[in-house]
Amino acid sequence: MSEFAKLVEGVEHFEATLMQDSPSDVEGAFFQRVESIYKRLANEKSEAWLSHADALMVQLQNAMLEFDAFSDHFSHRCLGPKATDQEIAKHEAYIDKQLAKQRLASLVQGGLSGHGGAALAVDMPAQLWLHARTVASLAQAYGFTLENPLETVYAVRILYLANLPAVLKGNEWRRLFAEIEAHEEGQPLYSTREEILTTDILIPLLLELLKVRMMSSISKRPKAGGVFVAASVGGVCNYRRAKQVTQCARCFYQKRWIRNAWTQKG
């Protein structure tokens, strides 16, 4: 099997997994609980929260431009649309090594947060920074520059998608590629829903807050080993989240690179 065919097969397998995910009984109950909590919020408060969150995502877009300009991880390893099988193989092997380093960085960062205090307080911002840097680097690796405002929006959207619960990712993936296809067919402006974030993001945020609260409680226990347990929980959770982000973002840009390569081959 050619390296190009392996890329296609990998993306197709990833997409099939996204579309097949269905909520378990526990997940279904949890989603209903989150929805009921959200409905208890006044509409004005909920809309205000989402507007502030959208403003944060706009700032993240600006930060991604900085990552795109100064990140040297993948900038010299851009995969051209006419790459040979040998070039594809070398490129993917290099990406594997770099993403392994980034997942390790998330593991260490999560472990440090287990000590509590300031390290735990900055856990979520630190994760967001690492993940945004990874997405920006992957965009570079497959030939998409974030100097293009539209590409910056796509990068933020894929970061948002990667942090959704598995059962919600499939619909967001289809929606995102439908918007990309509309733009490629001549849509001159970015056209999508007005807000970047939706209430679906409350689910991973609640889980993240639950993790932080649990780690804080464990690290404060007087018994020996409390900090070690908290560090282990933080490290494992952050590593798994980083793995989800890298896999989702990589397949996103791989699929777009494949589409460009097919177009070039005509």
Model confidence over 62-117: pLDDT tens digits?
666 565 544 555 656 788 888 889 999 999 999 999 999 989 998 888 888 777 77
pLDDT of residue 242 exceeding 80: yes
Q: In the predicted model, what is the mean pLDDT of residues 139-157?
A: 86
Instruction: Quote the CA–CA distance of 143 and 247 in Å, as a whole number.
Output: 17
pLDDT of residue 251 exceeding 70: yes
pLDDT of residue 180 exceeding 70: yes
Beta-carbon count within 10 A of 117 CB: 10
DSSP H stretches of helix in the chain: 3-20, 25-40, 43-70, 85-113, 118-121, 123-141, 149-162, 166-184, 202-219, 226-265
Q: What is the pLDDT of residue 70?
A: 46
Q: In the predicted model, what is the mean pLDDT of residues 186-205?
A: 60
Mean pLDDT of the chain: 77
Q: What is the pTM of this model?
A: 0.82
Q: For a pLDDT cut of 90, what percent of the chain falls above it?
A: 21
Instruction: Return the residue matching tokens 């700032």.
Output: 59
Instruction: Quote the CA–CA distance of 204 and 233 in Å, as a whole number.
Output: 16
Most confident segment among 40-54, 75-89, 218-232, 233-247:
233-247
Chain segment 27-73, per-residue pLDDT in tens: 566 666 666 665 565 454 555 555 555 556 556 656 665 655 445 55
Q: What is the pLDDT of residue 257?
A: 95
pLDDT of residue 195 exceeding 90: no
pLDDT of residue 179 exceeding 70: yes
The larger pLDDT score, comparing residue 182 to residue 245, is at 245
The larger pLDDT score, comparing residue 212 to residue 94, is at 94
Instruction: Return the residue matching tokens 């999508």.
Output: 192
